[in-house]
Amino acid sequence: MTQLNPPPPTLQVRFQLPNGKLGVPYQAVITGQLNSGASVDILSMTLPSELGLNFNADTNELHGIPTQSGDYTVTINWQINAQQSYCSDCLFIINPDPKQLWKILEPAPTEPYAKPHQAHQFLPNDTVNLLAASTRGRAHAHIGQFRDDDYFINYHPASGWSVLLVADGAGSAKFSREGAKRAVKTAGEYLIMTLASDLATPLETVLNNWQEQAIDDTQLLITQSQPYCHLLFNTAVIRAIESLEQAAQEQHANVNDYATTLLTAIVKRHAHGTFIATCWIGDGAIAAYDAAGIVSLLSIPDSGEFAGQTRFLARTMLINSALSDRIRIGYYSNLTALILMTDGLSDPRFETDNELRDVRHWDELWNELVPLLDTPNPSQALIDWLDFFSPGHHDDRTLALLW
């Protein structure tokens, strides 16, 4: 066996050995060059067998699927013009899979307001289908915290009304997970109960008259239904705020500890279209989507006092026209889906305001969702889908759909 020696100090060689990534197919031609600029011939390469990579001496190609990450020293045998052979060590880096860097930790058992890390629900009906899913983000799992997001969906067959809400508890508020839970449940239950009762008769009368007369004037419908929708949302918000205040009193805490966003929609589908009214407090997104190439944004993400902040459910929303400015009403003749999401989903899917307004990005999202809706268990499929990896975006994610 020929003993290979390191090159003399006068021969400095540099190898081109690209970094690999754990679990990702690797294929690279290894080259070497002297400090003089002359190329060297690669004879062989010695590397740890557990890496899952092989070197082809005929093609100088290193290939395979890395099975471990880390910094490794590999030995390369080389020569110049078929003369003296040498061996040199070279650093080879295999980067880890970013997803595997995240820990999955459980919250302390003494923490109040325990909440499942995932929740999902599917309500299929003859007229409309409702679906919602919420999952704990990697950032919370990494430090052993509960999911802050929550949702509420319901459909009342007799009246035909649907209600969808999503909420994102403030990351800086220690009980925000309970705030989000109480907000969607309290507001959602009030809305579906009211819409299914005689209290909704004035709004029903407006919608029925508008349908029977076949009035082709959406603005007229908005104007006529506006007072009733404002009253509905105003009362729902008040009740949600009161539920947070009650929780704070029970826990001897500050109501700000329960801070949460709240995105709400009420929907009724008719023979010729779909009536939608929405109210939003905070970030996230609500959109009426038409697969024919139209999207109507029914919320505008609120910003807070500082960059990166948002608005939260609070009594200041009830001052003057603060809440009225956060209500949208529309009638859609070709609605494909109504979509509500917290910012844990809207941020990675729509990284700029322009993307949020661009129907092509909504088309991409819908094309990913459609196969999930056709599975035997759409809500579980949606939960699995929500776990997608997006660098820099590791918040809780919640999505509610009506189609």
Asked if 94 and 59 sit in the same domain, the reply is yes
| Residue 150, domain member (yes or no) | yes
The number of C-alpha atoms within 13 Å of 227 and in the hemisphere containing its C-beta is: 3
Residues 6+ apart with CB under 8 A from 129: 122, 123, 373, 401, 402, 403
pTM of the model: 0.83
Domain count, the chain: 2
The structure tokens 């009304």 sit at: 161
pLDDT of amino acid 216: 65
Do 183 and 320 lie in a common domain? yes
Are both 95 and 111 inside the same structural domain? no
Do 234 and 249 belong to one domain?
Answer: yes
- CB-neighbour burial class of residue 249 (10 A; exposed 0-12, middle 13-18, buried 19+): exposed
Whether pLDDT at 1 is above 70: no
What's the CATH number where 308 sits?
Answer: 3.60.40.10
Task: Let me know whether 81 and 134 are in one domain.
Answer: no
Residues facing residue 140 across a β-bridge? none
Strand, coil or helix: 116: coil
Residue linked to tokens 């109480």: 182
Burial class of residue 346 in the structure, from the number of CB atoms within 10 Å of its CB (0-12 exposed, 13-18 middle, 19+ buried): buried
In a domain, 2, yes or no: no
Most confident range (mean pLDDT) of 15-19, 57-61, 145-149 is 145-149
Tokens of 342: 């917290």
Q: Which of 75, 100, 125 is the last residue of a domain?
A: 100
Is 254 within a domain? yes
CATH of the domain at 50: 2.60.40.10
331 and 292 co-located in one domain:
yes
Asked, for residue 5, whether it belongs to a domain, the answer is: no
Q: Is 56 a residue whose pLDDT tops 80?
A: yes
pLDDT in tens, 168-215: 999 999 999 999 999 999 999 999 999 999 999 999 888 888 776 655
pLDDT > 90? residue 25 = yes
Can you tell me which residue has the tokens 């045998």?
77
234 phi and psi angles, rounded to 5 deg: -60, -45
Spatial CA neighbour of 263 closest among 346, 147, 184, 160 = 184
Residues 342, 135: Cα–Cα separation, whole Å = 11
Strands (E), 30-117: 31-34, 41-46, 53-56, 61-64, 70-79, 85-95
**Under DSSP, is residue 72 helix (H, G, I), strand (E, B) or coil?**
strand
Closest to 323 (Cα-Cα) out of 400, 240, 201: 240
- Residue 4's pLDDT is 64
pLDDT value of residue 309: 59
Residues 172 and 77 in one domain: no
Task: Please give the structure tokens belonging to residue 136.
Answer: 């704990």
Question: Do both 96 and 108 map to the same domain?
Answer: no
Residue 4 maps to a domain = no
Co-location of 96 and 106 in the same domain? no
Residue 285 has pLDDT above 90, yes or no: yes
22, 28 contact by CB (below 8 A): no
pLDDT at residue 307 tops 70: no
Among 100, 121, 154, residue at a domain's last position:
100
Nearest one of 133, 164, 184 to 345, comparing CA atoms: 133
Query: For residue 295, is pLDDT > 70?
Result: yes
pLDDT at 374: 95
Range of the domain at 69: 13-100
Is the confidence at residue 100, as pLDDT, over 90? no
DSSP class of residue 242 equals H
Biggest CA–CA distance in the chain, Å, is 97
Q: Per-residue pLDDT averaged across 202-230, rounded?
A: 81
Same domain, 209 and 322: yes
Q: What are the pLDDT digits (tens) for 30-43?
A: 999 998 888 999 99
- Pick from 108, 101, 182, 100: which is nearest to 145 by CA? 108
The reply to whether 178 falls in a domain is yes
pLDDT range class, residue 222, cuts 50, 70, 90? confident
Higher-pLDDT residue of 259 and 224 is 259
The Cα 388–Cα 99 span in angstroms is 10
Statement to judge: residues 43 and 150 lie in one domain: no
Q: What is the pLDDT of residues 79-99, one digit of tens each?
A: 988 778 899 999 999 999 988
Q: Supply 120's token pair.
A: 């999902």
Residue where one domain finishes, among candidates 81, 100, 119: 100
Q: Are residues 219 and 94 in the same domain?
A: no
**Average confidence (pLDDT) over 225-235:** 94
Please tell me which residue, 154 or 307, carries the higher pLDDT value: 154
Q: 318 pLDDT band (50/70/90 cuts)? A: confident
What is the average per-residue pLDDT within 217-245? 92
For residue 8, being part of any structural domain is answered with: no
Q: What is the mean pLDDT of the chain?
A: 92
Asked if residue 306 has pLDDT above 90, the reply is no
pLDDT for 395 beyond 50: yes
> What is the distance between the alpha carbons of residues 285 and 303, in angstroms, rounded to a whole number?
13
Return the minimum-mean-pLDDT range out of 41-50, 126-135, 246-255: 41-50
